[in-house]
Structure 1
Amino acid sequence: MIKKILEKWWPLIVITGVIFAFHIRLFLPEPSIYITPDYGRSDAWHLSIANKFYYAQELKKNRIPIWNPHIGTGYPTLAEGQTAIFFLPNLIFFRTLPFVWAYNLTLVLSFLIAGWGIYMFCRSLGLSKLSSTYAGTIFPLGGFFVFHVQHHNLLQTATLLPWLFWATNEFLEKRKVIFLLALSFIISQQIFAGFPQLTFYSLVALVVFLILKTFTKKNWLIKSLTPILISIIFGFSIGAVQVIPQYEFLNVSARQISPENILTRFPYTFKNILQFLNPFILGSPKDGTFPRWVPGSWGIFWENVAYVGIFPLIFALVAIILTFRKKFNQKIAVIIFLFLLLLSLLLALGTLSPLQTVFSLPPFSIFRVPSRFLLITQFSIVVLSAIFIHKTINKRSILIPIILISLLNVFIVFINYNPTGNAKEWFKKPSTSNYLENNGAERIYSIGQSEQWNQEFIFNGWQNNTDYYHFARNSLDQNSNLIFDIDQFASYESMTAERAEIFKQIVNSGINKTDNKIEVSEKSAQLLASSNVTHLISPLEINSPLLKKVQEYKQDIKQKFIVSALKLAPQQYFMTQNYRVAQIKSDVVNNLMDPDFNPLEEIVLEKDINLSEPLVNKWTIITRKEIPNAISFEINSDGEGLFVLTESYYPGWKAFTDEIEVEVLAANINSKAVVIPKGTHLLEFKYDPKSIRLGTTITSLGLIIFIFFFLKFRKFQIL
């Protein structure tokens, strides 16, 4: 029994063993996490781990985290997408396992899925088990994956690329409906994985592959292209519960990226091509030798590397040469992947590419960092190298040493690049968190941390010292606050709602660094207090009559974090009869900036209302229920007035007074206000957006149709 299993599945077992060996530091000698720093913060700690930590907490409470009230005065978690809420491995692992195990296993699973996927695709192309195993071990250990371990959702999206090619190729060869269904399912999972840029880039590559493979065949448009395109559309329908809210968020976001910005902000240059020979030929951020990112002039290290080792690169080049020099029965596959290699490399070059005009067209124009096309480049190189091995190296005595040497190459180059930290130590509450917890903190704002961080990151890296990054947890910078159950005024995400961004810019306009201090204006202090902020954390002293230093934590003379408390009373909610009206956003901003405007007592509305006499002067408010996507209050007032909730104004929030829906007004650009009559009333806010309801309906119908076709037609052939 065991012998038969080994004979059949040994390639996948080998791939699994290699991947776990590469990531063994996460499990032995003690549970650890990757803590790879980035510019200004760590995308591992402040984004991936933090967001997944909140996600796991909510799942264990049997709640789907569609809204997060703990960052950015409220944030649409589902609509933003990077938490990858409906990605199946996430749902299973984060619901059932302790967090560190769930996070590490889903991370390693991404590498496994990529390795298994390219193995299956190479087998679909007719390659041998050994050559396919070679691809399955090299591809997931290439630079695109290893240098992106801090981007959990990017990896989960990228990992499904080879499976898209496998399902498509299997359908083209066998014409069975089950492979169209598999393609739809894979696309839906790639959508749920939460990195739409790579979903789009994957589909671009897939369509190119499909056209090049079939256009010479009779009736290819109807027999091949049409069923595949229908399958892709069906995949999007299954993913509608993610796509529709994400589209809604994009329309109200502050993300405005011009084609010029896309092409120049994160450049990939001809010099970066040298990194196919040696990823560290231009330096390494690990020891601070890689040139710092300069928008428009020099790119980011981890976005510009698709190194897979010297042997795969040589094998791919030789396969290309042999294809054009002699008879080669894998000629079509080589030509297709040569075309994909060149196309993806040209697109990655952005402004240096003759194809740069495509980035002025949607959806190319939505996404930044064109160098992420290097995923397709890396995939193409590995497939070409596997084809070469299959056609020219038939003896196991030669092939196995080649596989081992290639693996040794990538292990030596990559194994110690990403730093790890002891999970127990990293999840232990930092000193600032303990202080805030014991001193009545409501919401905090971390400022000025990135400059101190970059001083360490750019010049020293992390090779000889990760102590600073552990100490920097004290900043509780967004979104790491989620790990320690503290609310944060700001958020760190791929998109920010325009209203939230405008309000934050107004606040930040009054926060300036002078010498070795940070000046906070009276207006900024008032606006922060009106957003329920009680404390600021900074690496420098804060100079403001409305803030006082209450605690300081030092690592050494240069590196410290200071906790300052606002002297103003924080307000999560209040009632007022005082309001101004400004119907366009620029006028709202001008009113908020007015020295005579006090956001703790007055609000700016964007439409006029008529409050009835008598007007409110006294009131009591009791919070009855508070969960992430709903909050209710019992309000007693001596007159009619405006109830103001200093949480994000965002599409989908509804209000009910005594179970009757009432209008939610935009107040102070990014807060919510409701007219409350005199007397005692129950007021409830609910996050129930049409986009999620519509998406849920379409996804449900899509799944029903999927199950029906799977049960009835999975063996059916389309001839």
Structure 2
Amino acid sequence: MNNFLPLWNPHMGLGFPVHAEGQTSIFYPLDFIFFKLFPSHMAFSYLIFIYILLIGFFTYFYCRIISLTRLASILAAISFMFCHEVLSHLMGAIMAVRAIVFMPLCLIGVELLLREKQKWGYLVLVIAFTSVVLAGHGQTILYCYLLTSLYLILTIYFDKKNHFQEIIFFVLAVFSSIALSAIQIIPTIELKGLGPRAGALSMWTMVAQSYPPESFKYFLFPAVPPEGISTYLGFFPFIFFLLGFFIFSKKQYFKKSILLIVFFALLAVGKYAIALYAFLCFIPPFNFFRTPAHAIIPSLFFISVLGAMSCDSLSSLFKLKIRVRVLFLGGVVLLTFLDFYRTVDSFNYHRPHRFILSYQDLFKKSSIVSLLKEDKENFRIYEDFGGSPQNVLAQYNLDSVGPGGVYSPLSPDIYQKVFTNDFEKIWGIFNIKYYLSDHPLRDFSSHLQYLGRFDDERLSMTKSNNFRYPYQPFYLYQYKKYLPRFYIVDQVSSYADEHELLKLLRQGIISEKIALVEKENFHLENMPAKLITQMTEGRKKSKEIQLSVSNNKRALLVWNDFYYPGWEVYVDGEKNKLIRVNGLCKGVFLSSGKHNVVFTFNSKSFNLGFSISCISFLFVMLFIGVLFWRSRRSVRS
């Protein structure tokens, strides 16, 4: 899948529209480049270094723009780039780190606008906003737009000047970035409407994983609170931030920053500020997201900046000589860096260099992968992992299925019931041949065969017992009967609704001879003649599958792959109706004879988004060109 745009990933679940899941970040500029140039484990390693370095670089550059000294800017950069909340996302939510990278750059764009550098401010904002959206973490996208808007509003309020032109440029930058990101936004909206999180969340779901007020003490102490959210950003930066209340509490920048810190802290505490969320639960897109604790990131950024500013001001306040001042600031910077290096293991995550190198060992010389690779059939593996990441096997082109997912042709509650242990015995009908678990199955009856325990393997991403996912053995089972990826049946049974489908699935009537279809698609007459088929797979790509099929009577060709909008089927060059089969998969009715069948993925949402993004790119380039031309012309005149 390295030589074309991966719109459909057949290795995840029963197929997955990878372009529509924003958190895959396939259009994110850095990932798009590195995953094209390097193997996945190397790309991950390089990108983690680059993410953290860019967070520090943009924070440093922002501090320089607001007139902090170099050493103070370095202090702010170290405090924010190595704060525990940022590093902790490297494992569980690296897509949030991708978005956080460009958060300081958004503020840089606003500062450039307010300094009457409209063309540069507009350009920086468009790049930053677009990159944040393409990073794919919806909640962080919302907070970045909200933070930048509030930052602009508060700056204009305290400045008490007419900034109408700057506001126009800011609004243009927002809409330009949304239009440029349409290639990601429109398919994601389509997927969200079809997934288990379609529609707004309830208020109590929104405030799940809130940041409790008593945990604010962890700003000062490097430990993990019971909720697992550490906000430690260095002892010295936080102490200097507290001293700032006595040094420059009347300065406009301090007031503006404190207001932003308090606002995002209120968002982060979630259920402890229930009156706020009683209002927000009616406002999209706030009511699309849970885990409000993520909102603490902007507060951490401004605490880091104010701490560095306070340290800088203290060295000026005592009128220290230049050499002494440099030694003072340099000493604080060094102590802060050493403090992070000393304490980062205390909250159960690796020092970055250990963590990054671990990606290169992911499944290296794995006997599990080697064993599964020896099986040349077209099959799927069910991953039953309690603590390790899902779809780990997908990077080795081993198709894996997990209990959850962001899409299913069935309603979420029905889909969850199908992939629970009550239906474990029928999973073979979905092309699942192997069952891989991090715990032994107590009762696997006659439908599974135990293949062995693998003590030398682990499916987590590191080799240290200090990591969140400890070492554990894995157990491999094989289904004695499973259906192939493609097969043909001459008998069908219909169902009226999903509850009847669930009942039929529980009865286990699906086999290589019979399939389930919706009542309106029931067009197959059962004939007494024995079905004789021959099928070969031809051209196979992410967006297209070609089959040569021969059958002696009318039959249904079943493809064990998710039914999803955009898939089309052509039989002998003519477009046919795509049928939803067995509730989850797709198929097509075939008349007797030899046929050339082509399944192709033509996503209308992607095509629309791609067109809008291309047109927007031309508009942005033209607009920036006009701005620079007018600027050069005014200088000459």
1:623 shift after superposition: 1.0
Task: Report the counterpart of residue 448 of structure 2 in structure 1.
Answer: 547
CA contact (8 A) 2:363 2:369 kept: no
CA contact (8 A) 1:143 1:305 kept: yes
- Give the fraction of aligned pairs with identical amino acids, expressed as a percent: 21
Q: 1: CA distance between counterparts of 2:130 and 2:626? A: 21
1:258-337 equivalent positions in 2, closer than 5 A: 258-280=201-223, 284=224, 291=226, 299=227, 301=228, 304-324=229-249, 331-337=251-257
Q: 1: CA distance between counterparts of 2:333 and 2:270? A: 34
1:379 shift after superposition: 0.6
Which of 185, 206, 221 is the matching residue for 2:127?
A: 185
1:352-391 equivalent positions in 2, closer than 5 A: 352-353=272-273, 354-360=275-281, 361-391=283-313
Q: 1: CA distance between counterparts of 2:485 and 2:98? A: 37
1:305 shift after superposition: 2.1
**Residue type of the partner of 1:319?**
G
Cα 1:609–1:221, aligned 2, differ >3 Å: closer, same or farther?
A: farther
Instruction: Please state if 1:250 is matched with 2:192.
Output: yes
Task: Report the counterpart of residue 436 of structure 1 in structure 2.
Answer: 372
Aligned residues: 599
Task: Report the counterpart of residue 468 of structure 2 in structure 1.
Answer: none
Deviations 1:25-70 (A, max 9, x none): xxxxxxxxxxxxxxxxxxxxxxxxxxxxxxxxx3xx3212222101
Instruction: Please state if 1:411 is matched with 2:411.
Output: no
1:610 shift after superposition: 3.0
Cα 1:195–1:716, aligned 2, differ >3 Å: closer, same or farther?
A: farther
SS state of the match for residue 647, structure 1? strand
Which of 524, 527, 535 is the matching residue for 2:434?
A: 535
SS state of the match for residue 407, structure 2? coil
**Residue type of the partner of 1:279?**
P
1:209 shift after superposition: 0.8
**Residue type of the partner of 2:520?**
K
Instruction: Please state if 1:561 is matched with 2:474.
Output: yes
Q: 1: CA distance between counterparts of 2:363 and 2:314? A: 51
Task: Report the counterpart of residue 587 of structure 2 in structure 1.
Answer: 673
Instruction: Please state if 1:525 is matched with 2:425.
Output: yes
Task: Report the counterpart of residue 114 of structure 1 in structure 2.
Answer: 55
Task: Report the counterpart of residue 160 of structure 1 in structure 2.
Answer: 102
Q: Which runs of 5+ in 1 are unaligned?
A: 1-57, 285-289, 292-298, 454-471, 512-522
Deviations 1:425-476 (A, max 9, x none): 43324222222222455434445541xx5xxxxxxxxxxxxxxxxxx8xxxx
Task: Report the counterpart of residue 607 of structure 1 in structure 2.
Answer: 520
1:106-255 equivalent positions in 2, closer than 5 A: 106-150=47-91, 151-215=93-157, 220=162, 222-255=164-197
Cα 1:370–1:715, aligned 2, differ >3 Å: closer, same or farther?
A: farther
Which of 494, 504, 514 is the matching residue for 1:591?
A: 504
Which of 389, 393, 399 is the matching residue for 1:481?
A: 393
CA contact (8 A) 1:500 1:670 kept: no
1:601-640 equivalent positions in 2, closer than 5 A: 601-605=514-518, 607-611=520-524, 617-640=531-554
Deviations 1:517-573 (A, max 9, x none): xxxxxx6433x22211112123314522222223333469x9543322212142212
**Residue type of the partner of 1:404?**
L
Q: 2: CA distance between counterparts of 1:535 and 1:100? A: 25
Task: Report the counterpart of residue 407 of structure 2 in structure 1.
Answer: 496
Which of 598, 605, 623 is the matching residue for 1:709?
A: 623
Which of 418, 427, 439 is the matching residue for 1:507?
A: 418
Deviations 1:608-645 (A, max 9, x none): 34347968832222111222221111111222222111
SS state of the match for residue 147, structure 1? helix
Cα 1:86–1:449, aligned 2, differ >3 Å: closer, same or farther?
A: closer
**Residue type of the partner of 1:266?**
Q
Q: 1: CA distance between counterparts of 2:507 and 2:430? A: 18
Q: 2: CA distance between counterparts of 1:594 and 1:630? A: 34
Task: Report the counterpart of residue 463 of structure 2 in structure 1.
Answer: none
CA contact (8 A) 2:434 2:477 kept: yes
Q: Which moved more, 1:335-344 or 1:190-199?
A: 190-199
Which of 473, 483, 492 is the matching residue for 1:579?
A: 492
Which of 21, 35, 38 is the matching residue for 1:94?
A: 35
Deviations 1:6-39 (A, max 9, x none): xxxxxxxxxxxxxxxxxxxxxxxxxxxxxxxxxx
Cα 1:434–1:149, aligned 2, differ >3 Å: closer, same or farther?
A: same
Q: Which moved more, 1:341-350 or 1:119-128?
A: 119-128
Q: 2: CA distance between counterparts of 1:87 and 1:170? A: 24
**Residue type of the partner of 2:432?**
V
SS state of the match for residue 169, structure 2? helix
**Residue type of the partner of 1:551?**
G
CA contact (8 A) 1:143 1:306 kept: yes
Q: 2: CA distance between counterparts of 1:443 and 1:632? A: 18
**Residue type of the partner of 1:230?**
L
Q: 2: CA distance between counterparts of 1:599 and 1:584? A: 23
SS state of the match for residue 267, structure 1? coil
Cα 1:569–1:137, aligned 2, differ >3 Å: closer, same or farther?
A: closer
SS state of the match for residue 499, structure 1? coil
**Residue type of the partner of 1:545?**
S
**Residue type of the partner of 2:288?**
I
Task: Report the counterpart of residue 321 of structure 2 in structure 1.
Answer: none
**Residue type of the partner of 2:328?**
I
CA contact (8 A) 1:262 1:365 kept: no
**Residue type of the partner of 1:158?**
I
SS state of the match for residue 535, structure 2? strand
**Residue type of the partner of 1:316?**
F
**Residue type of the partner of 1:549?**
Y
**Residue type of the partner of 1:610?**
H
SS state of the match for residue 104, structure 1? helix
CA contact (8 A) 1:529 1:600 kept: no
1:33-44 equivalent positions in 2, closer than 5 A: none
**Residue type of the partner of 2:299?**
T
CA contact (8 A) 2:492 2:524 kept: no
CA contact (8 A) 2:408 2:415 kept: no
Deviations 1:312-360 (A, max 9, x none): 1122222233334xxx6xx111111100101111110001014222440
Cα 1:677–1:698, aligned 2, differ >3 Å: closer, same or farther?
A: same
CA contact (8 A) 1:499 1:649 kept: no
Deviations 1:58-107 (A, max 9, x none): 3xx32122221011110111111222112222122222234433221211
